[in-house]
Copies of this chain bind each other. A is one copy, B any other.
Amino acid sequence: MKQSMTFIPTLREVPADADTKSHQLLLRAGFIRQNSSGVYSYLPLAKKVLQKIETIIREEMDNAGAVEMFMPALQQAELWQESGRWYSYGPELMRLNDRNDREFALGATHEEVITSLIRDEIKSYKRLPLALYQIQTKFRDEKRPRFGLLRGREFIMKDAYSFHSNFDSLDDVYQKMYNAYSAVFRRCGLNFRAVIADSGAMGGKDTHEFMVLSDIGEDTIAYSDSSDYAANIEMAPVTAEYEAKNEEPKSLEKVLTENQKTIEEVSSFLNTTQDNCIKSLVFKADDQYVLALVRGDFEINDIKLKNLLEASVVELASPAETKEILGCEIGSIGPVNVQKDLEIVADYSIKSIVNGVCGANEENYHFINVNPERDFKVSRFADLRFIQEGDASPDGNGLIKFAKGIEVGHVFKLGTRYSEAMNASFLDENGRSQSMIMGCYGIGVSRTLAAVAEQFNDENGLVWPANLAPYQVHVIPVNIKDEVQKELAEEIYQDLKLAGFEVLMDDRQERPGVKFADSDLIGIPVRITVGKKAAEGIVEMKVRQSGEIIEAEKSQVSQEITNLLTV
Contacts and interface: CB of A to CB of B under 8 A. Distances in A.
Contacts of A71: 35, 41-42
Contacts of A76: 35-36
Contacts of A120: 33
Most buried by B among A6, A120, A130: A6
Contacts of A154: 72-74
Interface string A511-530: 00000000000000000000
Nearest to A79: B35
A139 B75 CA distance: 12
Contacts of A204: none
A69 interface: yes
Nearest to A152: B72
A429 B191 CA distance: 50
B65 A42 contact: no
A40 B73 CA distance: 10
Most buried by B among A91, A121, A134: A121
B7 A74 contact: no
B132 A39 contact: no
A346 B96 CA distance: 51
Contacts of A42: 69-71
A422 to B, nearest CB: 14
Q: Chain A interface: which size bin?
A: 35 or more
A489 B36 CA distance: 54
A257 to B, nearest CB: 47
Nearest to A142: B99
Contacts of A139: 73-74
Contact of A67 (B7, B69, B73, B96): B7
A403 interface: no
Copies in the complex: 2
A153 interface: yes
A255 interface: no
A137 interface: yes
Nearest to A70: B42
Given A96-B95, A130-B7, A47 B70 contact: yes
Contacts of A113: 35, 41
Given A113-B41, A137-B137, A67 B6 contact: yes
Interface string A175-197: 00000000000000000000000
Interface string A407-437: 0000000000000000000000000000000
A47 B50 CA distance: 19
A91 B126 CA distance: 46
A24 B133 CA distance: 25
Nearest to A42: B70
A240 interface: no
A137 B156 CA distance: 12
Sorted from nearest, which 4 A-B pairs have the closest CB atoms?
Answer: A96-B96, A9-B121, A42-B70, A91-B99
Given A36-B104, A41-B113, A74-B139, 15 more contacts: A5-B65, A7-B118, A35-B76, A35-B116, A40-B72, A42-B69, A42-B70, A43-B69, A44-B67, A46-B70, A47-B68, A48-B68, A73-B137, A74-B153, A96-B106
25 contacts: A1-B67, A4-B127, A5-B65, A5-B67, A9-B122, A33-B120, A33-B121, A35-B71, A35-B72, A35-B116, A36-B74, A39-B74, A40-B72, A41-B69, A41-B117, A42-B71, A43-B69, A44-B69, A46-B69, A46-B70, A47-B69, A73-B137, A73-B154, A92-B99, A96-B106
